[in-house]
Amino acid sequence: MKILAKLCFFLALTFIGLEASAQATMPRKGEPKKTMRDGVGRKFGKMVEFKRGKEVALSRTYTAKNGTKVTSAGMVTYADGTKEKLPEGYAINKEGEKVILEDDMIAPEKIRKHQKEVTGKDETSVTITERTKLIINDSTGRKAVYDTIRTVETK
């Protein structure tokens, strides 16, 4: 009886996890299609290339401006020689940087258009606050700790 209860509990957790992951990756019903910047990414387990606003299956090796190469199987060889398999939901932009597909690959004009529709304003302001802790150990064994806060605002 205890084994059956544990098995049911495990199956329930597995089902909940699969449901949550499916909701996180599938587009919402009625959601408008986004125009993406040029690059390649892994979307729903497949490698796709974004070029001039169009999305096509990646059928060849993609080479970015800095020399980063991405194969149709999703293996990335960066300009410095390191290799990795591109994870789901990530992309390599045309400059050769690894970015989050849904956040960093959306074309800026689409972001501005959406913002104008939602807020009525066409100006974008981004504020980044960065907190760092710097620990310095010198040769005498003294320790200095500095907390720094840097704020950058762009419009």
Q: How confident is the model at residue 138 (pLDDT cuts 50, 70, 90)?
A: confident
Q: What is the pLDDT of residues 81-108, one digit of tens each?
A: 999 999 998 999 888 888 888 777 776 6
Q: What is the pLDDT of residues 1-20, one digit of tens each?
A: 667 666 556 656 565 654 54
* Surface-to-core class of residue 20, CB atoms within 10 Å of its CB (0-12 exposed, 13-18 middle, 19+ buried): exposed
The DSSP element (H or E) to which 92 belongs, if any, is strand 90-93
Average pLDDT, the chain: 76
In 3D space, the residue among 32, 31, 94 whose CA is nearest the CA of residue 64 turns out to be 94
55 pLDDT above the threshold of 90: no
> Considering the entire predicted model, what is its pTM?
0.51
* Both tokens assigned to 115: 């913002």
Q: How confident is the model at residue 78 (pLDDT cuts 50, 70, 90)?
A: very high
